[in-house]
Structure 1
Amino acid sequence: MNIEQQLQSKIDLKTKPLKALGLLEKIAYKIGKAQQTLTPQLTNPTIIVFAADHGLAKEGVSAYPTEVTYQMVLNFLNKGAAINVFCKQNNINLKVVDAGVNATFDSHPDLIQAKAGLGTHNMISGNAMTQDELDFCFKSGQQIVTDIATTSTNIIGFGEMGIGNTSSASLLMSTILNLPIDQCVGRGTGLDDTGLERKKNILSTIIDTHPKPNNAKEALLQFGGYEIAQMCAAMLEAYKHNMLIMVDGFIASSAFLCASNLEPKIIDNAIFCHKSDEIGHKLLLRSFDKQAILDMNLRLGEGTGCALAYPLIQSAVAFLNEMASFESANVSNK
């Protein structure tokens, strides 16, 4: 038997009915297959939160002012955000990347400086970023993961912070999947009905006034954001290092959509951690033909879904490695 057949047999012969552990069995199989072993391990788990501002935010596509991006990065660095709490609870390393916040930060041991600009350009009047800025984002994202790989990390999660970034994610989703923009746009940080309608109208105008991109890199050039582009590149680099990739919510999934457009095999290493309350995320997950671990009406971002799902990923590895088989436990199989 090859390694895939051995893994499935090992899972099936545990002291349980077939498929009784549901999604945990699929996760265990995925991890074992990625690591090409019957006894996989998770080492030095790390979550990276990419933060950047968006020029489009001044058009009122978010319920929050743009300065919240800067303020939340400071909150991350002061260990006061939800992602800090959940990472501490589950012994996950956390790094924060300034991919393009419209402010400057003092040096900090948990902050990675990779600023592509002081926020993307307003898509109403042109592309979100220049080709040089996109190239910088890809080089930066790759280098960040290359550096983390030296710490023996073999499972990595991706989160984000950026007021206005659900608009970029919706535009990326719409153009790459050829879906009507209305199916991809949600309330983001909590827009009311009037704000949601304004957001839809603005994004529809942007779709109509931009040429259709031919690939994910062209889409990122047009629609941004810096944090999504760096996340996309970081995911691709994580795949090159054969890391398990924990994908957070709607924004992170849009970055993964871009990454999978550039390298389809990356799906083999991806674990989708939660289904966001954002309207487009269900369709986005369906496009990958994957089930998320959690469905808890989360829409915070920051990588919180990754941190919350990580203990269940640990459980998948634990049952594969430690649970008795029918034979070893002298339990009768049917």
Structure 2
Amino acid sequence: MFDAILSSIPEPDARTAARCQELLDAKTKPRGSLGRLEELACRFAALTGKPVPPLPAKAVVVMAADHGVVEEGVSAYPAEVTGQMVANFARGGAAINVLARQVGARVEVVDVGVRYPVEGLEGVKVRRVGPGTANFTRGPAMTREQAEAALAVGVEVAQRLADEGVGLVGLGEMGIGNTTASSALTCVFTGLPPEVVVGRGTGVDDAGLARKVEAVRRGLEVNRPEAARPLEALAKVGGFELAGLAGVALGAASRRVPVMMDGFIASVAGLVAARLCPRVTPYLLASHLSVEVGHARVLEQLGQRPLLDLGLRLGEGSGAALAFGLVDAALRVLHEMATFTGAGVTDIPPPVR
């Protein structure tokens, strides 16, 4: 299954991007004066294969799962909060619900491994691979088969959304303890030590931060994950929701759907997807820079520059939803802004080089 998906991800179309830039250059403005908005429009053109892409229907996929490493005291919140927050998402009361409504995006909530779920919630897709991962300080977080199953859940969700007309997918997550798993994977893929990439997550104090650093260090020592084996690394120190989001990225890219990553955790999932299949990398967009210390390191690995820097550290897909508005702005310029010819405005040709 995965070989077929990985081989089906198309390369960006550079000629379509160039045509998009020509159209932008004809608008009533100095060439390039809209900066990164123009870059964003051209990137969308390259990924979708359309020089004037339509404003996309948007969805944020929130993958939820628990982590056995919480037993090590790495979070300020107990594991029960994961299921409680999933219920909050289902009822429309979380930050991601508010921000998604602001930009007209749907929120797709997937329980891929919540330990204490609130059963019977309308709108939550239950695709539970297990009741949370195992404590990776004592052995692998999951089996290879479980990692593959969670990846498959994400692929299925993304491809279904694409078939339903969604043209832009955001990556969101919920899982108490998932900054610890994300930090461990960051160490694997960057080669950096835990004390450089482990942050405070939900707001742990100094003692909690020390426990997180030690938990990541022990997890790496016990499991010995290797960057050259990304699927095994994911299974050894990752999480079900991280695997699910990596699958979303792969499935979306296979249908030419751009993927807006949220902060640290979602970007780690994007990095896992990129290590599994480098061809997915151009489809990954960085919405914002999280205050989590490891996030900048992950974006460096992906060659990404974030669109926003608002001091966010919430997760849920909140930054992705905010960045959706920039995508709409970039594409509306293509659709709605007058040209020099149409508006009767004198154009100044570019200098001869």
Please tell me the residue identity of whatever aligns with 1:177. Answer: T
Backbone CA RMSD of aligned residues: 1.5
Mapped contact 1:42–1:155 kept (Cα < 8 A): no
Q: Is the 8 A contact 1:45 1:154 kept in 2?
A: yes
**Runs (5+) with no aligned partner, structure 2:** 1-13, 349-353
Alignment of 1:278-317 (within 5 A): 278-317=292-331
Q: Structure 2 CA distance, aligned partners of 1:203 and 1:156?
A: 30
Matched, 1:50 2:63: yes
Residue 141 of structure 1 pairs with residue 150 of structure 2: no
2:37 to 24, 27, 30: 24
Q: How big is the shift at 1:222?
A: 0.4
Residue aligned with 1:88, SS: helix
Q: For 1:128-277, what aligned pairs fall within 5 Å after superposition?
A: 128-213=141-226, 214-277=228-291
Which deviations, in whole Å up to 9, do the C-alpha atoms of 1:219-264 show, x marking residues without a partner? 1110120000011011101100111111101000000000011111
Displacement, 1:186?
0.6
Residue 307 of structure 1, CA deviation: 1.1
Counterpart CA distance in 2 for 1:311 and 1:252 is: 19
Between 181-190 and 2-11, the greater mean CA deviation after superposition: 2-11
TM-score (norm 2): 0.91
Q: Counterparts of 2:120 and 2:207 in 1: how far apart (Å)?
A: 40
Is contact 2:25–2:31 with CA below 8 Å preserved after alignment?
yes
The answer for the alignment partner of 1:93 in structure 2 is: 106
Aligned-pair identity in percent equals: 39
CA distance in 2, matches of 1:280, 1:180: 11
**Structure 1: tracts of 5 or more residues without a match:** none
Bigger mean CA deviation after superposition, 97-106 or 271-280:
97-106
CA contact (8 A) 1:27 1:271 kept: no
Is the 1:176–1:215 contact (alpha carbons within 8 Å) kept by the matching residues of 2? no
Q: Is 2:17–2:43's contact at 8 Å kept on the other side of the alignment? A: no
Report the alpha carbon displacement of residue 89 of structure 1 after superposing the two structures with TM. Answer: 1.9
**Scaled by the length of structure 1, what TM-score is found?**
0.96
- Which deviates further from its counterpart, 9-18 or 82-91? 9-18
Contact map agreement 2:112 2:244 (CA 8 A) in 1 = yes
Where do 4+ consecutive residues of structure 1 move more than 6 Å?
none
2:331 aligned partner, one-letter code? V
Shift in Å at residue 328 of structure 1? 2.7
> How far off is 1:268 after superposition?
1.8
